Amino acid sequence: MAIAAKIQSVIEKSSWIRKMFEEGGRLKALYGAENVFDFSLGNPNVPPPEIFEKTLRDILDSGEARDHGYMPNTGYPFVREAVAGYVAKEQGADVTAEEIIMTCGAAGALNATLKALLDPGDEVITPAPYFVEYGAYADNHGGVLKTVPTREDFTLNLDAMAAAITEKTKIILINSPNNPTGQIYDAASLEGLGRLMADRAGAMGRTIYLVSDEPYRKIVYDGATVPGIFGACPNSIIATSYSKELSIPGERLGYIAVNPAVEARESLLAALALTNRILGFVNAPALMQRVVARLQGVTVDVSEYDRKRRLLCQGLAACGYEFGTPPGAFYLFPKSPVSDDVAFVKTLQEERILVVPGSGFGGPGHFRISYCVDDQTITGAMPGFQRAIEKHQ
């Protein structure tokens, strides 16, 4: 075999998201794109804020962007300083530029973090449902992903977390607002998780890190807020990106923020600077770094996603689907009307509706709808959603 057996196995078990994407291409070729209702990808469709393009033009016109040379592994110092100032306010902590590492998106941030922390066989615990690529990220660096069930409403189950921690546990990885459920983990849960981690780490004589994947932090509704993790756990790290809040996923820009109270701070920062380089991510795109330095706190028009959320929820509720209204992100995770979520997703495909089985996210019995789509996709799909649920009633 020409390719690695391990990679061949991954291809054969390829992501349901990718499978739906490929199926979408086939259906669109057969029936026309306007007759296929694709909710499979979390690709933002709300345009970037107008100030993004203006800032980009200003930087180009000023000549500031003519420097295309190498930079420090961790990013431009003035960019890190701007990011640190914003994170400090957000987290209520004395974050400085030293605790910020600019990365190639949240995926780059997570991989650099896991590379810096994991020894072979170390365990990464994550609440399920979870972002499907976490398993690959852990495996990339010798780690093993362990999933822990959440409560029925997808909030943290601290008892299940406590039962999952072993002497091999190195990282607890959370994602809030969550992909695929849109759930936000509240302050009380995070504080409880921090106490649990401190107790277990102290008993084992081993540091356990809380890593928070936060690309949807600013996509929230109905006055919801996303609590900071730095106050809940000193050994905490944020991995995030500007992909969702600025609608620039293709620009691949994010950062790592390290809690200034973390144990062995200097060693950890040195490790992250190194892993960000040796994984091949160095450096985070120079032009986009310059842009976001001027746009701290700027967000897309979240009311657009809120309108889509309400439109989708109203339509599905009228059809008889069961779900909790998500407080954040741009995903809905309804219950499948039959226990076999994969079978129901195939029923939806017969109606030319593309969603992702919950099984692919560690949430069997559900399916994920990504509603960062045009309104016509939502309204046009409703007759098909109605027919699909009627087939199984």
Look at 146 and 22; give whichever has higher pLDDT: 146
Q: What average pLDDT does the segment 238-250 reach?
A: 97
| pLDDT score at 125 | 98
Mean pLDDT across the stretch 22-48? 87
Q: Is 325 left (phi over 0), alpha (psi -120 to 50) or beta?
A: beta
Q: What is the pLDDT of residue 14?
A: 65
Q: What is the pairing mode between strands 123-128 and 169-175?
A: parallel
| Domains of the chain and any CATH numbers | 5-48+301-391 (3.90.1150.10), 67-293 (3.40.640.10)
Instruction: Please write the tens of the pLDDT for every residue from 82-127.
Output: 999 999 999 999 999 999 999 999 999 999 999 999 999 999 999 9
The answer to whether residue 206 scores a pLDDT higher than 90 is yes
Tell me what pLDDT residue 20 has.
Answer: 74
pLDDT of residue 250: 95
What gap in Å lies between CA 381 and CA 324, rounded to an integer?
20
Q: How far apart are CA 203 and CA 187, in angstroms?
A: 24
pLDDT given for residue 1 in this prediction: 62
Read off the pLDDT of each residue in 232-259 and give the average, rounded to a whole number: 98
As given in the structure block, the two tokens for residue 324 are 């909790």
Q: What is the pLDDT of residue 13?
A: 65
What would the mean pLDDT of 40-56 be, rounded to a whole number?
95
Residue type, 103: T
Question: What's the whole-number average pLDDT of the chain?
Answer: 95
Exposure b/e, 251-273, CB count within 10 A at least 16 = b: bbbbbbbbbbebeeeeebbebbb
Q: pLDDT class for 24, splitting at 50, 70, 90?
A: confident
Percent residues over pLDDT 70 in the chain: 98
Residue 70 has pLDDT above 80, yes or no: yes
Q: Say what angle helices 105-117 and 265-278 make with each other, to 10 degrees.
A: 120
pLDDT class for 8, splitting at 50, 70, 90?
Answer: confident
pLDDT of 308-358, one tens digit each? Answer: 999 999 999 999 999 999 999 999 999 999 999 999 999 999 999 999 999
